[in-house]
């Protein structure tokens, strides 16, 4: 983007273009895992904007809008709501309203400091008489106290004395742009405005989530001449009108201290009192001390999760941006929360949970946090197990089918080819149990809770497969694989292969428990009503699962009949064809050979150790030329596999497509919000791709290489109570054990012992 400046630690907009405002609002988004904001202006902006304030876990079941209803469709599509606007400050200088869509200004700069997670803006406002005023704003959403946010809004008069009117406010009269029926999702409960503080309590329709926001304020640099409460829109708009005078050469700063509470964490009847109390306490603590506590939390985050790149500022900015936004979206403190594809940055996809969490995001949180954070993601699915069983029953199946899209465990996606057929999502959830257990070397979740997930998803597979007596195999018919450009196919290789693995993993885990944890095993058998015959069925289906393959080509077939298609490489398509999802009919796409994202290759990544390098090369060389990568989740898997098979330049090319997807607006859709879940793929491309990180036979293995255009790079791993820093440069690889007990790892093919304070 023409106004975007490259910087190691900051996202910087220099200059202002109304046409690019939504783009910059998206990339300047911030959050603390509990709530988040787009990079909107505090003062009024009547131009094109997507106002966005989001409270995690607070959603609305917007009625499903489809042309033709089918049995099994969910009744609603869950949406994370645009909530109370708490950043607003109306600014009038000599009665002229400050609105950057309707006034003169210069030297505009908007800057997101990712290191400290603070958003700053500055510009020079020019009034109708030509007098100039420097405006500087700063705000943060506290990572130290998830209920708090704070704003500093400073005005310096450069030319004249002036009358200044400031109105900090709360506005509950908000809407979602993506509402199916243009409904308002909130109802007013209560509010109060005084001349020093205000609160506003709103409740969602249908779901009855209660949210209260409160603020208090402070003026620095001037005497307050007048202040009065403002109470508008039947109480949905509350604030304080503050009148003062600003003198030439002087600066006035308004501090706004905000608390946002909900009945997800507090009793509904007390949330307004709690919010008001926390806002007052924040004022007493002061902006600087609140900010110091917030910065300390972020310093700890970066100490365990930073990736450094020397010699390529664009790449450095890109990877830190992705790491930053992932941390803004999910903190892991609440196992009821999860990761939406847009996080706190927009409304698209409803903010709900997809299989993206387990297939992509899980690696990042496992490798950069204490294990309890990744475990919270597993707990989320375990806590929804009963709902997953209900979802399976609605489709006439046994066991548990986890939803494709959810907020509370119920399916809320209503495209039949996804809702009914993209059933491979079950396997991503069981796979996350496996990689957590292997990475942490902790079996406790697996044997206490994970086993229930394994058994119930296996029951689903046992009821979903078809036995073919002629071929003496089990098949899975009528599915959609990860490649959503193929619907209602038979025997998608990825789905069949992952089901085969998942069933066998269940059987192996049951066998391990019977030998090593007999009491837990017996209790589980009774709790789940599991019989030996049922276990034998799981094993039989796994052993005889049909896996389509062409032995002459030496490749696994994406599904039955794939070779019947006209196999024309993407390189032969014209510029007017791409992207095909915007230029072709759906009918033409479905009949084509083109692949939206990694499908067979996704299976080769997940089940990496079960396949040889030669098998990976053959399948990569066959499928990659047919892949249009029109899913943001696609390039990272290709990058990892390209790195593994020695295609280093190709690995780097695919990495670039993930690292700056949103910053460079590759898909021309950053305005809608960021691609949060695919951001984890950027981390994977470096750590699992360039770094070659794997767990083999219970041991950490690394095989790094350095992209040619980089001078060096480093990444950290949180691994079994230790923090490792891996640095890769022209002269080789250095590994520092920064914290923890000695550790044996494999570096390339050598066994290495790491000790704290000794570089390897």
Q: What residues are labeled active site?
A: 484
Cα–Cα distance, 69 to 416 (Å, whole number): 10
Cα–Cα distance, 399 to 137 (Å, whole number): 54
Q: Which two tokens stand for residue 624?
A: 């990659």
Q: Which two tokens stand for residue 99?
A: 């609105």
The CA dihedral of 698, 699, 700, 701, to the nearest 10 degrees, is -120
Closest to 91 (Cα-Cα) out of 298, 243, 216, 226: 243
Cα–Cα distance, 152 to 686 (Å, whole number): 37
Residue partners of 513: CB distance under 8 A and separation at least 6: 447, 451, 520, 521, 524
Assess whether the previous peptide bond of 258 is cis (omega < 30° from 0).
no
How many other C-beta atoms are found inside a 10 Å radius of the C-beta of residue 737?
22
Cα–Cα distance, 502 to 508 (Å, whole number): 10
- Its sign, for the CA torsion 668, 670, 671, 673, is positive
Cα–Cα distance, 567 to 593 (Å, whole number): 6
Query: Residues, the chain, total?
Result: 760
Residue partners of 728: CB distance under 8 A and separation at least 6: 690, 691, 704, 705, 706, 712, 713, 714
**Burial degree of 189 (CB within 10 A; 0-12, 13-18, 19+):** middle
In 172-223, beta strands by DSSP E = 186-193, 197-204, 210-220
10-14 and 186-193 strand pairing: unpaired
Q: What are the backbone dihedrals phi and psi of residue 436, each rounded to the nearest 5 degrees, phi first? A: -60, -45
244 neighbors 207 (Cβ within 8 angstroms)? no
The CA dihedral of 625, 630, 631, 635, to the nearest 10 degrees, is 40
Cα–Cα distance, 414 to 66 (Å, whole number): 8
The CA dihedral of 242, 247, 249, 252, to the nearest 10 degrees, is -10
Residue partners of 285: CB distance under 8 A and separation at least 6: none
**Burial degree of 234 (CB within 10 A; 0-12, 13-18, 19+):** exposed
Q: What are the backbone dihedrals phi and psi of residue 420, each rounded to the nearest 5 degrees, phi first? A: -90, -25
> Angle CA(24)–CA(26)–CA(30) in degrees, nearest 5?
110
């Amino acid at each position: 983007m023409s106004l975007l400046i490259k910087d190691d630690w900051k996202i910087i907009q220099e200059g202002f273009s109304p046409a690019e405002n939504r783009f910059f609002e998206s990339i300047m988004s911030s959050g603390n895992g509990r709530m988040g904001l787009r990079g909107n202006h505090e003062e009024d902006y009547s131009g094109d904007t997507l106002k966005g304030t989001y409270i995690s876990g607070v959603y609305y079941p917007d009625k499903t809008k489809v042309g033709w209803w089918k049995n099994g469709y969910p009744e609603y599509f869950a949406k994370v709501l645009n909530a109370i606007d708490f950043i607003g400050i109306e600014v009038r200088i000599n009665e002229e309203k400050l609105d950057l869509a309707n006034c003169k200004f210069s030297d505009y700069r908007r800057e997101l400091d990712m290191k400290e997670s603070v958003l700053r803006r500055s510009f020079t406002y020019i009034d109708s008489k030509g007098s100039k005023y420097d405006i500087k704003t700063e705000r943060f959403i506290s990572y130290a106290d998830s209920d708090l946010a704070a704003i500093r809004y400073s005005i310096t008069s450069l030319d004249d004395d002036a009358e200044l009117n400031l109105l900090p406010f709360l506005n509950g009269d908000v809407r979602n742009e993506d509402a199916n029926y243009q409904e308002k999702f909130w109802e007013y409960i209560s509010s109060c405005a005084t001349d020093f503080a205000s609160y506003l309590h709103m409740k969602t329709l249908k779901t009855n989530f209660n949210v209260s926001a409160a603020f208090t304020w402070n003026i620095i640099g001037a005497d307050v001449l007048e202040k009065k409460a403002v109470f508008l829109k039947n109480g949905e708009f509350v604030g304080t009108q503050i009148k003062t005078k600003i003198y030439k050469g002087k600066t006035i700063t308004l501090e706004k201290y905000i608390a946002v509470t909900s009945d997800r964490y507090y009793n509904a009847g007390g949330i307004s009192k709690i919010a008001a109390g926390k806002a007052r306490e924040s004022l007493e603590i002061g902006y600087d001390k609140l900010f110091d506590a917030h910065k300390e939390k972020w310093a700890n985050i970066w100490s365990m999760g930073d990736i450094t790149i020397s010699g390529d500022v664009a790449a450095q900015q890109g990877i830190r941006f992705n790491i930053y936004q992932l941390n803004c979206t999910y903190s892991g403190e609440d196992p009821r929360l999860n990761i939406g594809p847009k996080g706190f940055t927009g409304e698209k996809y409803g903010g709900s949970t997809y299989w993206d969490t387990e297939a992509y995001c899980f690696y990042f949180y496992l490798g950069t946090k204490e294990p309890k954070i990744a475990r919270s993601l597993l707990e989320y699915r375990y806590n929804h197990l009963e709902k997953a069983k209900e979802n399976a029953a609605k489709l006439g199946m046994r066991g548990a089918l986890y939803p494709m899209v959810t907020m509370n465990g119920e399916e809320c996606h209503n495209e039949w080819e996804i809702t009914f057929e993209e059933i491979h999502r079950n396997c991503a959830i069981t796979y996350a149990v496996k990689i957590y257990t292997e990475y942490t070397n902790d079996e406790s979740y697996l044997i206490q809770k994970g086993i229930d997930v394994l058994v119930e998803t296996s029951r689903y597979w046992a009821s979903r497969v078809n036995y073919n007596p002629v071929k003496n195999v089990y098949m899975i018919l009528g599915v959609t694989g990860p490649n959503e450009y193929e619907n209602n196919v038979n025997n998608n290789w990825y789905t069949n292969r992952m089901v085969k693995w998942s069933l066998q993993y269940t059987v192996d885990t049951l066998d391990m428990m019977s030998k090593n944890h007999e009491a837990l095993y017996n209790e589980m058998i009774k709790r789940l009503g599991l019989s030996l015959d049922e276990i034998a069925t799981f094993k039989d289906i796994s052993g005889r699962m049909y896996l389509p393959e062409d032995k002459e080509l030496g490749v696994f077939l994406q599904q039955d009949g794939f070779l019947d298609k006209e196999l024309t490489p993407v390189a032969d398509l014209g510029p007017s064809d791409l992207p095909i999802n915007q230029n072709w009919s759906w009918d033409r796409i479905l009949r084509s050979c083109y692949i939206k994202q990694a499908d067979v290759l996704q299976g080769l990544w997940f089940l990496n150790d079960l396949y040889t390098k030669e098998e990976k090369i053959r399948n990569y060389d066959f499928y990659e030329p047919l892949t249009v990568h029109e899913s943001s989740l696609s390039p990272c898997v290709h990058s990892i596999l390209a790195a593994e098979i020695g295609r280093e330049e190709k690995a780097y090319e695919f990495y670039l497509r993930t690292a700056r997807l949103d910053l460079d607006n590759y898909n021309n859709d950053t305005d809608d919000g960021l691609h949060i879940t695919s951001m984890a793929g950027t981390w994977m491309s470096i750590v699992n791709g360039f770094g070659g990180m794997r767990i083999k036979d219970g041991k950490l293995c690394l095989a790094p290489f350095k992209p040619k255009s980089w001078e060096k790079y480093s990444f950290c791993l949180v691994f079994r109570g230790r923090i490792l820093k891996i640095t890769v440069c022209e002269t080789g690889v250095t590994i520092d054990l920064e914290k923890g007990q000695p550790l044996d790892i494999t570096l390339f093919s050598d066994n290495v012992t790491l000790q704290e304070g000794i570089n390897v």
